[in-house]
Each structure stands twice: as structure tokens, then as C-alpha cells.
Amino acid sequence: MKKTLVASALTAAIFVPSVSAIEIYKDDKNAVEIGGWMDARIINTQGATEVVNGSSRINFAFTRDMGDGWKTFTKLEWGVNPFGNSDIVYSSESTFESQSDEFLNNRLGYAGLSHDKYGSLSIGKQWGVWYDVVYNTNLVNTWDGNASGTYTYNKADGAVNGTGRGDNTVQYRNAFGDVSFGLQVQLKQDSFELTENSTDGIPSPFSTADKNFMTGSSVATTSESLGTIEYNNTVGGSITYAATEMLTLTAGFNLGEFDGALVSGEGVSETDYIYGAGLTWGGFEQPGFYAAININKNEFHDTDNMGRLMHDAVGLESLFSYKFDNGLKPIFAYNYLKAGDAYEAFYNDGEFKRQFIVAGLHFVWDEKTMLYLEARKDMSEFNAANQTPDEDDGVAIGIRYYM
């Protein structure tokens, strides 16, 4: 297990089961792998039963031996929608149309170089170093990763602030003995117009609205632009310690900054930060008992179900499983994300607590084929405005075919 962690640090590897890639070409200098999986599932939730895509993907990885211990590498990965997703659209011209989602979408794309002694440097769209801290619970097939601060901005891919599959990131990774670490900077330039919408009563999360927070009021005043806010570069770091053959400890952080000025001349400055730690016992794909847990504290980092920025929140994820010799693997997971007092007082409409458990049974038929059954029981507590339909009980049955 220690060797696996070191190898991951040096190659900027994605934390997915090793069965998801096969070598299709190799000579004295070059190697090519193809990986990914096809996941088809039937899910019943929100009062409907549907066939859905289970994050199917395909990727290509290339490595080249440059001599003297140096290697160059690149990886390209696309999400695949193999089952189709067509909807009836009634247009403004009073005509009916069929509208379908795209077959492919970009997940990863990066290139870099590595050395056994000097570490690795990679550039592109890649898993953020924050994911090193919390990947250990992101292994449930149907419902996972909703409280770790990875898939921010209403469960997107974490590209905006670099905690998930970050855009425009530069990473350095290395390992010394049982300790590996990652450092990351995200070089990006984003900006948006800040408004307070008097139509729906949602205040901006910054400055002028902060005055309302101090007085206990969240009444919006105008829908016109109050100013321009920039959200530019982010930085992050992680450290992993393989304490024993079974026990792994992780910790890390990620930082961003909202900066700008209002038309009134007032400055705006808020820090998007998250920090936390994780613990893993065993290997999810290995026989026997597996346990993982991670916790985090964050501010101005994620959004509620309405897309409103949360001023403060704490999150916890846990996952437990046991893989029997016959391939059966029962699993149990618990996710918890609660906004803090500042959020509740600012929006003045009650608490936001996302909370659910998942129980299931995976059958690892062979190393490249898995059948699974997973059920979710939702125990969330939201105010009326936050009662969006994606938080619900559900049952899913599926098959995952690794390449």
C-alpha cells in the first residue's frame, strides 16, 4: 500500500481502482494505456424509475521514458453518455423539438514530467490536491462526495476552486519514505457582476449584504449591478502518511479569494478556504475490512441547493465495507454537511443540513466486472426554499464494466 501511495504521488495518478486501465502498447520508450468504465444503472428516486448513466468515462494515458530517471506523461479523459438523454422541447415558435445531451464531455487533460528523486510536475485539468485528502470516501457508485468540499457549486466537478477536477492547475508532487505531498496553484481569471435581486429576495453574499447580516436583515434592495467581483488564482496543499501497511492519514487545504469593489466605492474581500483531514484503514478493492472517514471546515467555499454561497460550513464523510473471498462486498456510508451560524443568520430562513446514509451490496464478479445494489435514506433538514428534489430517498441497481 505504501508503494502504491508513492507511485500515485510521482505520476499524479487518479485515485480509482487499478482495474480501470489496460496497457495496449509498450516498447523500450513509450507506453499507452486505455482506461475507464461503462456504468449502467436503474434508479428509483423522486417518484420516478429511470435508466441513467453512472459517470461512464474513457481515458488514454501516455508515458515516455526520457532516460536518466526522467519520464514525461499525459492523460486525456472524457465523460461518456452512452444511453442517450433526449427531452421534448416546446419552442417559442410553438414547435416541438427533440433536444439531446452531448455524447462526450471533458473530464481531465494534463501533461507533465516526473523523476524518481525530484518528483513530478503536471499542468492542465486534473484532480486537485484536496482530493488526496478525501478520495477515500468517494467510492460509493450512486451517491457520494456531497459533503467533502470536492464537488462545489451545487455538486459540479470542483473545477472553479480547484478542489475537484480543477481547471488550469499546476501541481508538484513528491514522496520521501512513507510521506508523500502535493502542492497546487490554479492560474485562472474569473469575474462576475454582484447584484442583490429584489425579485426573489436573495441578497448578495458580500459587503452590502454583510451590513444586513450585522443588523439581522437580509432584505435585498436592487437587481442592478453593485460592482464587479474577481475570483482568480487558488492554491492548495496535501500530505499523506502511510503509517502502517493498513493505516493511511491525510490532511490538506485549499484557498481562494473574492476581491472587488462596489459602485459605492466600498471594497470586497472574502477568503474561500477549506481544510481538513482523513483516515483510511485497508484498501477498498482488497479483501477484508475497509474504513475511511474525512472531515472538513470551510468558508465561502460551497453553495446550498439554491446556489447561494455558504458563509461557513462543516462536512463529514465516512465509508465502511468488507470484501469477502466470494466477491460480495457490503458497504455503508454516511454523509453530513451543515452550514454554520453565519449562514443561518445571514439568509434568515432556517438551517441547511444535508445528511444521508447509503447501504448497499457490491458483487465483484471478477476484477473488471461489478454488479451492485445501493439504497439511500435521506435525513436532511432544509428550510422550505432549499427543498430541492435531488435530496431524496432512492434505490439503484447497476452493472459497472471496467476496461
Give the position of cell 423522486: 46
pLDDT at residue 274 greater than cutoff 70: yes
pLDDT at residue 291 greater than cutoff 60: yes
d(CA 2, CA 244): 8
pLDDT at residue 351 greater than cutoff 90: no
Number of domains in the chain: 1
What is the chain's mean pLDDT, rounded? 85
- Beta partners for 273? 255, 299
Closest CA to 53 of 45, 41, 62, 63: 41
List pLDDT tens digits, range 126-154: 999 999 999 999 999 998 878 999 999 88
**Per-residue pLDDT, 286:** 95
d(CA 366, CA 67): 37
**Per-residue pLDDT, 323:** 98
d(CA 42, CA 54): 10
d(CA 320, CA 197): 44
Host domain of residue 331 = 2-82+101-402
Domain membership flag for residue 202: yes
Residue 401, C-alpha cell as written in the block: 464494466
List pLDDT tens digits, range 140-197: 999 887 899 999 988 889 999 999 999 999 999 999 999 999 999 999 888 888 776 5
**Per-residue pLDDT, 145:** 77
pLDDT band with cut points at 50, 70 and 90 for residue 120: very high
Domain membership flag for residue 95: no
Domain membership flag for residue 93: no
Domain membership flag for residue 220: yes
d(CA 165, CA 124): 10
pLDDT band with cut points at 50, 70 and 90 for residue 95: low
pLDDT band with cut points at 50, 70 and 90 for residue 384: low
pLDDT at residue 33 greater than cutoff 80: yes
**Per-residue pLDDT, 385:** 65
Domain membership flag for residue 88: no
Domain membership flag for residue 288: yes
CATH value at residue 46: 2.40.160.10
**Per-residue pLDDT, 193:** 80
pTM: 0.88
pLDDT at residue 399 greater than cutoff 80: yes
Strands 21-26 and 30-45: antiparallel
**Per-residue pLDDT, 12:** 41
pLDDT band with cut points at 50, 70 and 90 for residue 264: confident
Domain membership flag for residue 91: no
List pLDDT tens digits, range 214-258: 333 333 344 567 788 889 899 999 999 999 999 999 999 999 999
pLDDT band with cut points at 50, 70 and 90 for residue 316: very high
Domain membership flag for residue 115: yes
**Which segment, 95-104, 186-195, 322-331, is predicted with the most confidence on average?**
322-331
